[in-house]
Chains A and B, each alone.
Chain A
Amino acid sequence: MKKKFKILIDGKELSVKHGQTILEVASNNGIYIPTLCNYVNLEPQASCRVCSVKVNGRPMTACTTTVRPKMEIENDTKEMNELRKIIIETMFITGNHFCPSCEKSGNCELQALAYRLKMDVPQFSYSFSNKDIDASNPKLMIDHNRCIKCKRCARGIKTDDGKDIFAFKNRGKKIMISIDNELAKNISDEKAQEAMDICPVGAILKKERGFIDPIGTRKYDNKPIGSDIEKLMEVRS
């Protein structure tokens, strides 16, 4: 059995084991660290930086950094939350996120983070980039206006025999997600829904699903993102 040791998150002492990530430890203890590119059961890839925390004074990504003895971690601080807010806002201004007409509204992690981090007034100017919709697939629709390039789809959605349905094409600024139409045209409705659900924003849509979720019943309608984790702590204490 691995030996336990102690670390501090925002001054709170936690007893942890080697091999766990900061994010895992925090979540297990009812402490919410915002994330975006990370997703259950996917290998973390540390691309979005939303989970940044300060470890002994240095910014690190909580989803990939494993705990070590004597770590003092700053998470829910003004400085870190400001930094996260800037990252989130950058995603808003580089894409075209028109929440009022997006069917993912209320279920969207990006939107929920913007609310939680109080992104009220934009501090940067919008790029109004010209992006397309790829609607050629009979089951799924890709709205490139909304993709935040988290790669959750590419990492998590495979055909039953393990083939990739999503992949990135192009490089640099032109990088975009693409869908293998040959593979995707025969996917089940469940798989299509899974693809929609893995996408944190409204970039992957299961066709003809639309606004089936009534307002008031959507994931973040009544409680902010992260409150399920924080509730864990309330229950325990």
Chain B
Amino acid sequence: MGKKITIEPVTRVEGHGKVTIHLDDNNNFKRSRLHIVEFRGFEKFIQGRPYWEAPVTVQRLCGICPVSHHLAAAKAMDVIVGAGTGDGLTPTGEKMRRLMHFGQVFQSHVLHFFHLASPDLLFGIDGDPAIRNVIGIAKMHKELAVQAVMMRKYGQEIIKVTAGKKIHGTGAIPGGINRHLEIHNKISLINGPDPMNIDKMIEWSLGGLDFFKNYHKDHKDVIDNFAAYPSKHLSMVRKDGALDLYHGVLRAIDSEGNKILNDVDTQDYLKHIAEEVRSWSYMKFPYLKKYGPKDGWYRVGPLARLNTVDFIPSPLAQKEFEIFQAYTDGKPNNMSMHYHWARLIEILHCAEMMKELLNDPNLMKGELVTKGKKGNEGIGVLEAPRGTLFHHYKINKDDQITMANLIVSTTNNNIPMNLAVESAAKQFISGQEKIDEGMLNAVEVGIRAYDPCLSCATHAIGKLPLQVKLYDSNNNLLDIKTKD
């Protein structure tokens, strides 16, 4: 008589997901799955709407990284209004958007690392769930918690001065941006009173990296071996191979570091990437066409980016990148927990880039919008905090959207997250006599490394609404354990 374990909802991730683990009579691992039980249907209800509405409407997909959808949709609309495929904007248009994006990635990464992931590191994967959360961090590591709050706030201020609002703004419009950076905002973001200034943000970003590297030194086993497995990696990179979160060409490498996709124009993504639907999840399964659905899967996000790029175009982050690369002798890094390391390097890069852009005179004056010959189809690709994000639209002659296809970052990581679940389940649950909360959290830690955006992370505060259901092989409910 086998068993089925259900973890629902998965906590400290953005959204609602469920994990099922099937065990055989001896409690040995049989099969596991991460199910996405949420369906939003944005692609459907945007149909018929005017194309210029898309950047504002689709960002409602997400309350954590709306700017990513805002910008990806705006980039697609740039193509439609004839403003080129990523390099046709005015300097002001492009740089304001870039600043907005850096603010976004900065705050999203900070939220994830310090609020959602660090409890597992600071209190241990099997630590007391009552304190193993952001409240616990706030109580016992106050300084870290305060830093995280202020860094997030800083990123949100950047979004506000570029998009008009901290969340769900309107800054990016087809062909450019609708505002300049105002002088008082520039001054306060560069030189604001401690700690709300860019130099402090850079200092704290370095501090975050030190924190991780020290932890890593003492916990190599967890960080290096937990849910580690070889995979392909995909991201957008700048034409010269630099890390570029806003625009570039697509590149993918295999687990050995060979380039299996290089210099691919983002407008051609469909020639190389396809999606498969499986009955048990609303989330699709993207894959590289030339390897087929079974072997074509890949990872995206901070780890994948640092694996695909050749260098980081900001000095401090580049230095950290070199340390990161040296750790695997320049070979691709396939350790899931190193997502956190990569994320922290990107936080530093964002801070450096924000400083550069805040000092750039182009943001304060100059043309905001460009337009050219109108087309009826546009693709916008962006490196969102969680990985490569594809937006694809078609419009009719009356300016109405007739087709929308979105491949969100988390979807790209669908198979990798399923593999992380499998790997953690095998490592921590398989063959165990008794299954406790710590073992189940281990499964969640595997998913959490990918910072999936499934819905709402607040579940983790206070109560831990984790429900575990044990079924026999005939799906008869044997036992329910609810933790609160």
Contacts and interface: CB of A to CB of B under 8 A. Distances in A.
Contacts of A214: 164, 170-171, 178-179
B53 interface: yes
Contact of B173 (A136, A210, A216): A210
Contacts of A209: 52
Given A210-B174, A214-B179, A215-B164, A103 B399 contact: no
A79 interface: no
A221 to B, nearest CB: 9
B315 interface: no
B361 interface: no
Contact residues on B (Cβ < 8 Å of other chain), bracket: 20 to 34
A101 B81 CA distance: 20
Contact of A101 (B53, B174, B398): B53
Given A101-B56, A101-B60, A135-B50, A211 B170 contact: yes
Nearest to A98: B57
Interface in A72-90: none
Contacts, number: 56
Interface string B163-181: 1110011110110001100
Contacts of B171: 214
A109 B146 CA distance: 41
Given A100-B168, A135-B50, A141-B50, A211 B56 contact: yes
A100 B42 CA distance: 14
A133 interface: yes
Contacts of B398: 135-136
B49 interface: yes
A135 B169 CA distance: 25
Contacts of B60: 100-101
A25 interface: no
Nearest to A205: B50
B195 interface: no
A181 to B, nearest CB: 11
A133 B400 contact: yes
A138 B270 CA distance: 31
B124 interface: no
B173 A207 contact: no
Contacts of A208: 52, 81, 174, 399
Given A100-B56, A135-B50, A210-B173, A215 B165 contact: yes
Nearest to A133: B48
Interface in A196-215: 205, 207-215
Contacts of B165: 215
Contact of B178 (A141, A207, A212): A212
Interface string B360-403: 00000000000000000000000000000000000000111000
A58 B52 CA distance: 47
Contacts of A212: 173, 178
Interface in B47-64: 48-50, 52-53, 55-57, 60
B399 A211 contact: no
- Of listed B56, B169, B171, residue having the most chain A CB within 10 A: B56
A210 B53 contact: yes
Contact of B399 (A101, A135, A216): A135
Contacts of B50: 133, 135, 141, 205, 207, 210
Contacts of A213: 178
A141 B399 CA distance: 9
Interface string A108-148: 00000000000000000000000001011000010000000
Nearest to B57: A101
Nearest to B182: A216
Nearest to B55: A211
A215 B170 contact: yes
A103 B168 contact: no
Contacts of A101: 49, 53, 56-57, 60
Contacts of A210: 50, 52-53, 173-174
Nearest to B177: A214
B161 to A, nearest CB: 10
Contacts of A215: 163-165, 169-170
B400 A211 contact: no
Contacts of A103: 52-53, 56
Contacts of B179: 214
Contacts of B163: 215
B57 A211 contact: no
B55 to A, nearest CB: 8
B99 to A, nearest CB: 15
Interface in A174-223: 205, 207-216
Contacts of B81: 208
Contacts of A205: 50
Nearest to A214: B179
A220 to B, nearest CB: 14
Interface of A: 100-101, 103, 133, 135-136, 141, 205, 207-216
4 tightest A-B CB contacts, nearest first: A215-B164, A210-B52, A135-B398, A101-B57
13 contacts: A100-B168, A101-B49, A101-B57, A103-B52, A133-B50, A135-B50, A136-B398, A210-B52, A210-B174, A211-B170, A211-B173, A214-B171, A216-B164
Given A101-B49, A103-B52, 10 more contacts: A100-B168, A101-B57, A133-B48, A207-B50, A208-B81, A212-B178, A215-B163, A215-B164, A215-B165, A215-B170
Interface of B: 48-50, 52-53, 55-57, 60, 81, 163-165, 168-171, 173-174, 178-179, 398-400
